Amino acid sequence: MSLVGRKAPLFTAPAVINGEEIVEDFKLPIGEKNIVLFFYPKDFTFVCPTELHAFQEKLAEFEKRDAAVIAVSCDSEETHLAWLTTAKDNGGIEGVTYPVVADLAKTIAMDYGVLAGEYIYNEDTESLRFEGAPVAYRGTFIIDKNGVIRHETINDLPLGRNIDEYVRLLDAILHVEKYGEVCPANWEEGKDAMSATKDGVSSYLAAH
């Protein structure tokens, strides 16, 4: 079930902040910032570092829009710290400064619907087993300052994201909030939006 339009699941979890400091009680900055929360499968892998570096490269663009970027995976905070202190040319993510959250219990991934597997209870043996992959899909959520999820996408494990699209979507969300207009297909900041009325749509289509 989609989480769009619902309150974002809250959590308190260990995280590495500023690329070097472990905190035990990281929380989403609901009410303070717009949030781009993204999940990735695993530290020390192949596609994942390209995404974390790509988000870092666009970090100033998100910050201009009063948005915090936050990463989550099912690795431990110690593994995150080791990855964050490994050089880029050795497969590390040194230089990433936004928070990287540890979800070792996989509860955050489950709450957001991005865990790539599930726990199955066997009544005969009275035991749990895990089916699938015990990692997160590449889920991305944009959360507004009221704590409401305004956008979500979930990519399969091999499929990397286009970070520019999340900047565009954040622009659209901010435009809707500011002007009360709706954003048509392929809308970008600086282009015309439209009034959410029949006349507004007709006027937009006539002009384009």
- Residue 198, pLDDT > 70, answer no
Distance CA 156, CA 143 (A): 21
Domain that holds residue 181: 162-208
126 and 44 fall within a common domain: yes
Structural domain contains residue 4: no
Q: Which residues are catalytic?
A: 48
- Say if CB 168 and CB 65 are below 8 A apart: no
51 and 144 fall within a common domain: yes
pLDDT number for residue 208: 55
- Residue 206, pLDDT > 80, answer no
Distance CA 99, CA 108 (A): 15
- Residue 50, pLDDT > 60, answer yes
Amino acid present at 128: L
Beta bridge partners of 72: 39, 101
H-assigned helices in 47-182: 47-57, 59-64, 77-84, 107-111, 163-179
Instruction: Give the residue-averaged pLDDT of 111-138.
Output: 94
Distance CA 128, CA 134 (A): 13
Look at the pTM and tell me if it is higher than 0.85.
Answer: yes
123 and 147 fall within a common domain: yes
* % the chain with pLDDT above 90: 85
Q: Predicted confidence band at 197 (pLDDT cuts at 50, 70, 90)?
A: low
Structural domain contains residue 24: yes
- Residue 199, pLDDT > 80, answer no
Six-digit token string for 128:
């749990």
Chain mean pLDDT for the chain: 93
109 and 149 fall within a common domain: yes
126 and 204 fall within a common domain: no
Structural domain contains residue 7: no
Structural domain contains residue 193: yes
146 and 88 fall within a common domain: yes
Structural domain contains residue 6: no
CA dihedral 47, 51, 53, 59 (to 10 degrees): 180
Please count the structural domains in the chain: 2
- Residue 67, pLDDT > 60, answer yes
